Amino acid sequence: MTVTATSFGTLAGKRAIVTGAGGGIGRASALALAAEGAAVAAVDISADAAAETARQIAAAGGRAIAITADISDPTDCERVVRDTVKALGGLEVLFNNAGIIRRADAIGTTVEEWDRVMAVNVRSIFLMCKYAVPVMAAAGGGSIINTGSGWGLKGGGNALSYCASKGAVVNMTRALAIDHGPAGIRVNSVNPGDTDTGMLRSEAAQLGEDPAAFLADAADRPLRRMGKPEEIAAAVVWLASDAASFVTGAALVVDGGGIA
């Protein structure tokens, strides 16, 4: 993966946590934040995937650590923040990106699947913020970015638990922005449309659809293509940077015009 520096402003001296950093938007964002000068804690449930992201950052001259964690677990979330501060010296940026999708309606979704989607997509953000916000507030502020979705702003078919979870992310982001703005903490959501990642490709299998036809349908938007992980990462870098210093509580849509 080729990483190029953005023009949105430097993150030199910043320390960042990226969850779901083992691939897709998470890895692209970890690399982009590092390219702008941030030291990054790459967090993933897969030890190998987290280590590979950290390795790529180090190979490009950046500073990174890998942390293996299940961010739906409060003990793991507390440890992620503690270990990041210990290893990197502080925390100014938190990108709550980890997420999963189950493509099914209410009848086809099991209770266990519903609970797992809500745990990974929603509970994890609450937990990471619970432990990260005091650290940021004590240091004078920071930036939190949460991964929502176009389906957090409008409905979608055969994705009940995912739509519900991402709608919760968007409004939870607004509530966090209100609560913690006085402490200098900005909280925003980035809301991608269909992006060329492994998770998107897994949806075709879940739905039993032809992968080529599924991906062609995903490109049916004004820009006539899917997004690239690096394009979502550029928005994350901007929200993390001082260039977005007066932006909080926003739901930034990065979807090639998909919900326009």
- In this predicted model, what pLDDT tens digit does every residue of 106-164 receive, in sequence order? 999 999 999 999 999 999 999 999 999 999 999 999 999 999 999 999 999 999 999 99
Residue linked to tokens 């550029």: 234
What domains appear along the chain, each with residue ranges and CATH number?
A: 15-192+230-252 (3.40.50.720)
Contact between residue 42 and residue 54 where contact means Cβ atoms under 8 Å apart = yes
Run of H or E residues at 243:
none
Q: Which member of 133, 162, 239, 244 is catalytic?
A: 162
How, if at all, do strands 64-68 and 93-96 pair?
unpaired
Tell me which of 126 and 1 has the higher pLDDT.
126
Local confidence band at 184 (pLDDT 50, 70, 90 cut-offs) = very high
Average pLDDT value for the chain: 94
Predicted confidence (pLDDT) at residue 242 exceeds the cutoff of 50: yes
Contact between residue 28 and residue 229 where contact means Cβ atoms under 8 Å apart = yes
Predicted confidence (pLDDT) at residue 173 exceeds the cutoff of 70: yes
Identify which of 52, 53, 144 has the alpha carbon closest to the alpha carbon of residue 96.
144
Say how far apart CA 65 and CA 119 lie, in whole Å.
25
Say how far apart CA 238 and CA 7 lie, in whole Å.
9
How, if at all, do strands 251-254 and 185-192 pair?
parallel
Phi then psi for 60, rounded to 5 degrees?
-90, 5
* 162: annotated active-site residue: yes
Predicted confidence (pLDDT) at residue 68 exceeds the cutoff of 60: yes
Predicted confidence (pLDDT) at residue 8 exceeds the cutoff of 70: no
Q: How many residues in the chain? A: 260
pTM of this structure: 0.94
